[in-house]
Structure 1
């Protein structure tokens, strides 16, 4: 799973919190954070792409840059704003099961 934001800074903090929750919950997810400009380097190695809510205007263009097999998810501002790793992981799980 790859998490992206504009520069990679806020997504780095969010990814760290998500990794903590994943470990605690016993889920088998590998979570990485990168900047939007690095997306092309990782598209072949991911199953899901979570996009920071501040990139909502670019969401469709970002989704078009990844293979069809990749689930592309726009993160919700409510958990993203407070870097709630549990909220993000649970949103990811819901989307992957849908």
Structure 2
């Protein structure tokens, strides 16, 4: 993958992480630790890279849409589990 695309994806992930960082300045409802930011950065970066691979390797449009939708669903389920523990695993958040 060209370094320009990698740089763009990294900037995209960092810009998304600015949302909770800014929210923490205005409310006590958002309380992320440094570890939370690292985990979310890893999740977002993994998602963007996986979507890039699917877009590059899968040629059929319906399969591409289905795989990207599956990746998004997996991302959202992991995020929800880490945030509030909807499944009650050892990874469950508060």
For the superposition of Structure 1 and Structure 2, which TM-score range results when normalised by the shorter chain? 0.3 to 0.5
Between Structure 1 and Structure 2, which shows a larger proportion of helix residues?
2
**TM-score, structure 1 normalization:** 0.33
**TM-score, structure 2 normalization:** 0.34
